[in-house]
Amino acid sequence: MPHPSLGAAPQDLTAGFPAAAERLRAARSRLGARALEVALELDPSLATRHGELGLRKLLRDTEPLIDRLAIAVAASDRTAVAAWADWVAPLYRRRRTPMDDLIHICEGLKQAVPAVLAPEERVIALDALDEAIRILRWNRRIAGDARKRNRILDAIYKGA
């Protein structure tokens, strides 16, 4: 992603589909709710692990994700959502939220986005979400999110 302070030109938000980006922003609460529903269908344990407050936080966090998706569609930049996925990984580590939960939300967005976007606009959005899922899977392997944590090793790492 170009950065103006490094001498690169800023992103051209008219290079892709700016009208589609506005439709995404207008429907972000509906898309976020649908993405969370799909995530709950994919992994029913998500509701018991997070509780009502955790699910509300995940729903709230879908809005910046959809904003980044709108930037990706407007600028025709498939890396915009992947950069978001890389930025939020440490935040979810602190919350002790597995990256798989974010992957499920991205999969839910992949199912929700076709209701708002036309087929040619959808290609960029789905590619951007696939790239974000790839980054989240890579971040998942760092802390062992793919498997259940060992209580003894967890206690040792905490220094208990």
- pLDDT category at 160 given cuts 50, 70, 90 is low
State the pTM of this model: 0.82
Q: Say how many CA atoms lie within 13 Å of 60 toward its Cβ.
A: 6
Inter-residue contact 99 to 147 (CB < 8 Å):
no
Tens of pLDDT, residues 45-103:
889 988 899 899 999 999 999 999 999 999 988 888 999 999 998 888 888 888 889 99
